[in-house]
Structure 1
């Protein structure tokens, strides 16, 4: 987020009012970035060339390794709408395009890949189309890889950005909406590819809608990445009653707490009411009709309808009318004029929070666990029973509502944990501790179990028909560390703050 948003324009509208557009397909920018490089280059550039694992399964495995063990999502698209669409002619179902994207991260992810790396691979043309994020420039880069084989050196080039943004009008990935009938989630498409075997370049030929749905969600989030620099620079500068450094520090603290709490739903806390009101007033001044990008969603298209009607594959693969990705698309509102101050704050906190790499959150969580804090214990009656080798526990007390289990092997889960006046938690992992204690952890990154607002939870104690848990306010240590940071470090963006913040957390409380 080192570069500010450079161009704003009004999108066409049926009324005189129009949202502020954060991207303009008519202003694609330079093909080669003026600052930084693509995430794909960060991963695979090797001196003057590239060290790209081959075959494609090894490439996705290398990405998964950098992503903490979490593999990219993947689908097969034999008759798609990309520039590679004619490459497999005439045997489209014999060489479908493989589309992958990173939609989640592991706890030990070495790189911040989630929603930032998408690849389309066409084996017949031995080529890749790559869309990956450039953190320094605050934009996605478009690249083409030729000669992707085991026998030749791959040629990696930045693609003509003007050509790319004709379809990628938000300067980011695009994807069809449900039911994703171009992909192998369509049983008819999968049935025509049975000659490929069970999998094609590591991607199962038969698969349900979970994969394209996950890719679709990742694409939507990827297009929202541009909101973070807008909030950080323009909106904080326009927020009345708050100095920009104070606005950014408050946003950073809220974003860290949101991520530490497992990113559980929209950020909601009364203590940020002043920040929410200031951001809301700033938005009314900057963009009274809201903030938008070009929609990244393409209409769903089923090419089998034309094939079954006798249309030749080469003609069926050509998108026409509303299915043409080069057709100008309507504005997609990121922030609407009717959004409340609380809604805007939640969106802003989420946007800033998603810029923070998982490894930084894991390190901060571990550092905070070494801090004490004000402790509040809550106890309630709890039914405990042994069923089929499991210990199941449940409490309906409003002070501590609880439902979960632990197996004889020591593992388990809590489906619901709710303290009075706090947002309920779910999806917590359980492991047996000493005595009657159960250690709790957040599922996705394995973080310490915390409230949605970031405060740490002690192990759960069960015994004699009672359950007890303690809330430890180690957020106070985080608040002190953020307050002590150099404002210029914060201003540069929420990615470069980690060393200074970790130094602050290493110091004992005054």
Structure 2
């Protein structure tokens, strides 16, 4: 053997050996546990609590409590906006809304072919409550509205159950009687595979951020509920960010419930420590905090141990992103014919939200960033009014302040209207900025940078003058966004006093800065410790969904701040939540063959297609004769969806049915379903119907020659 050939043979052997090692290692690695199983959506109706949508629109009048929805849609949007913080410096509305004429929702064909006259509206809340009495809707409420079907599709959070609820409002129209019902979660989870809202990735070309979409909306000549057709990417970007944060709630709740262990006192103290850490994160503006020995022993170590035991492969977090899709890609002009217009509603398989989405990374117990990820997620449950009330309560608490002093160099040469400061001391302490002068006296200033022990790193703080200043001395308060600046430990930064040396012959003076730090956060920790040791600990820090409202009520009472303003009390008096169950219709029997067909399709299709809704088509709803007729009418589309399982994934025109994400509920997967006798039976039935109708066996390629949307609709025309 030549040396070259021997070398190649040796290298090939090494590659094969390494591949074998990798294969063995991969087989031994534990599999991450999915936080939410798409095939296990949970009960359709909440076992506890109500959705936020129910709570904010529940009213009591004349002794009767019901959900009262403003109409038209502009009034509903105004009601939402009124409960949210507004930003005078921003042109964006509090409740973000976009127009999507050619989308991917169940309602995507409801306005056909008048897509641009009746676009679907998508609304997302990404702002904090306007007042303490308003509910926390940020990232927790999403609404889809399609005027032509008179339906609102709702995704809103249920804090008591620790999950998003899926709802429909039917008959939402002028003169209608809107009816709020809870939706079939199995149907919803086919797309919303993490049990939370989903949204497109950038550049959001389905929305009116796409100039071509906006132009066609304008050309329709209609008004769109006060929503401007021409819009940049700022609003869809905000919605995208909201869905990203909402997608993390499931992981946060999962770790809160199970990460600390069972119901013993140690587990309760662990959750109490997590609650304190979330408040510190919120108060400090998210500054990184280095855990102390107590936190390590009470929270971090138990969380790591429990995580290794429960989830050795980690926790797999869901993915809310679906691919960006431009429905007008390559379309120069809107087609004048109905067939061409309908064709543009087609959603190719690669863009279908039914496609299984792999998890977005995993939470690992030993990941150095894992604890911070959990604390950041818990801080999303701290509303701005709660934080402001905490700050106000702590500010009234007597504390012994800590003072740190830094020597300074003060440059007053250029310009003469300010002092340039640079103060530094051992331990990484640094203060840099400017004091503004009038007649030689400081009037205010700005800190470009403030670094203190314990991880505090603040930028661009405003300095507000307190009392009278002299040419050599000034006392100021540091603020961030109009709030008192805080350290990474959650303590308020009090007065900052500047003293300048007395050498009038030089423009480069020495001096010092004295920074006062109010030790407030220990007061908050002590209050939480008392709750964790008190009679309510088993409820407040139980292995159950985070009881946000009860926790804050108990904490404010412990701090002597009084009970917070209760929100949404009328919802407690609502009738039990309702799930719309399709009526069992009677009809003339279609015969044994028709009944056999219905029975064959029922186990795999009824969850989505035996409903009172026509989106998706309810071809299994009705009496035997009606169902048999619908099945035959829908045969072309059913055949395509069943036959797609035989097509290579990259060549599929449409996604197969049932969706791959729900197949585990039938104890199968995509490969096993493709080869299963059950699918063969369904396919044979549909092939026989089509053969009998056309006189020849169906051919998938020929059926799709004109496009999927050119196939006969599933439901017969009314």
Q: Are the aligned partners of 1:69 and 1:106 in contact in 2 as well (CA < 8 Å)?
A: no
Q: Does 2:53 correspond to 1:40?
A: yes
Q: Does 2:305 correspond to 1:251?
A: no
Instruction: Choose from 416, 435, 455 the match for 1:422.
Output: 455
Instruction: Choose from 24, 27, 30 the match for 2:43.
Output: 30
- Relative distance call for 1:158 and 1:426 in structure 2 (3 A) is farther
Deviation of 1:161 after TM superposition, in Å, equals 1.4
Q: Which residue matches 1:90?
A: 113
**Secondary structure of 2:180 counterpart:** strand
Q: Which residue matches 2:313?
A: 289
- Runs of 4+ displaced beyond 6 Å: 196-199, 384-392, 404-408, 410-413
- Relative distance call for 1:324 and 1:449 in structure 2 (3 A) is same
Normalised TM-score (structure 1): 0.85
Normalised TM-score (structure 2): 0.62
Deviation of 1:367 after TM superposition, in Å, equals 0.8
Deviation of 1:430 after TM superposition, in Å, equals 5.5
Instruction: Choose from 513, 520, 523 the match for 1:474.
Output: 520
Instruction: Choose from 509, 530, 535 the match for 1:484.
Output: 530
- Relative distance call for 1:372 and 1:281 in structure 2 (3 A) is same
In structure 2, distance between residues paired with 1:223 and 1:206: 29
In structure 2, distance between residues paired with 1:85 and 1:49: 30
Q: Are the aligned partners of 2:444 and 2:476 in contact in 1 as well (CA < 8 Å)?
A: no
- Relative distance call for 1:289 and 1:413 in structure 2 (3 A) is farther
- Relative distance call for 1:80 and 1:437 in structure 2 (3 A) is farther
Deviation of 1:300 after TM superposition, in Å, equals 1.1
Deviation of 1:474 after TM superposition, in Å, equals 0.7
In structure 1, distance between residues paired with 2:49 and 2:71: 26
Q: Which residue matches 1:136?
A: 160
State how 1:446-465 maps to structure 2 within 5 Å. Answer: 447-462=483-498, 464=500
Deviation of 1:447 after TM superposition, in Å, equals 4.5
Instruction: Choose from 307, 325, 335 the match for 2:353.
Output: 325
State how 1:101-140 maps to structure 2 within 5 Å. Answer: 101-106=124-129, 108-109=131-132, 110-140=134-164
**Secondary structure of 2:164 counterpart:** strand
Instruction: Choose from 141, 149, 157 the match for 2:181.
Output: 157
Q: Are the aligned partners of 1:198 and 1:206 in contact in 2 as well (CA < 8 Å)?
A: no
- Relative distance call for 1:420 and 1:267 in structure 2 (3 A) is closer
Higher Cα radius of gyration: 2
Q: Are the aligned partners of 2:198 and 2:243 in contact in 1 as well (CA < 8 Å)?
A: yes
**Secondary structure of 1:118 counterpart:** strand
**Secondary structure of 2:422 counterpart:** strand
- Relative distance call for 1:198 and 1:256 in structure 2 (3 A) is farther
Q: Are the aligned partners of 2:159 and 2:547 in contact in 1 as well (CA < 8 Å)?
A: no
Deviation of 1:308 after TM superposition, in Å, equals 4.2
In structure 1, distance between residues paired with 2:267 and 2:312: 20
Q: Which residue matches 2:235?
A: 211
In structure 1, distance between residues paired with 2:211 and 2:445: 36
Normalized per residue, which structure has more helix?
2
Q: Are the aligned partners of 1:76 and 1:184 in contact in 2 as well (CA < 8 Å)?
A: yes
In structure 1, distance between residues paired with 2:40 and 2:97: 31
In structure 2, distance between residues paired with 1:59 and 1:314: 31
In structure 2, distance between residues paired with 1:229 and 1:116: 14
Q: Are the aligned partners of 2:290 and 2:454 in contact in 1 as well (CA < 8 Å)?
A: no
Deviation of 1:149 after TM superposition, in Å, equals 3.3
Aligned Cα root-mean-square deviation (Å)? 3.3
**Secondary structure of 1:95 counterpart:** coil
Q: Which residue matches 1:57?
A: 74
Deviation of 1:250 after TM superposition, in Å, equals 1.2
Q: Are the aligned partners of 2:260 and 2:267 in contact in 1 as well (CA < 8 Å)?
A: yes
Deviation of 1:387 after TM superposition, in Å, equals 10
Q: Are the aligned partners of 1:423 and 1:451 in contact in 2 as well (CA < 8 Å)?
A: yes
Q: Which residue matches 2:251?
A: 227
- Relative distance call for 1:280 and 1:463 in structure 2 (3 A) is same
Q: Which residue matches 2:431?
A: 401
Q: Does 2:213 correspond to 1:184?
A: no
**Secondary structure of 1:470 counterpart:** strand
Normalized per residue, which structure has more strand?
1
Q: Are the aligned partners of 1:262 and 1:442 in contact in 2 as well (CA < 8 Å)?
A: no
**Secondary structure of 1:371 counterpart:** coil
Deviation of 1:295 after TM superposition, in Å, equals 1.6
Q: Which residue matches 2:284?
A: 261
Q: Which residue matches 2:625?
A: none
Q: Does 2:385 correspond to 1:355?
A: no
The Cα offsets for residues 105-143 of structure 1, whole Å up to 9 and x where unpaired, read as 156352111111111122333322110001111110111
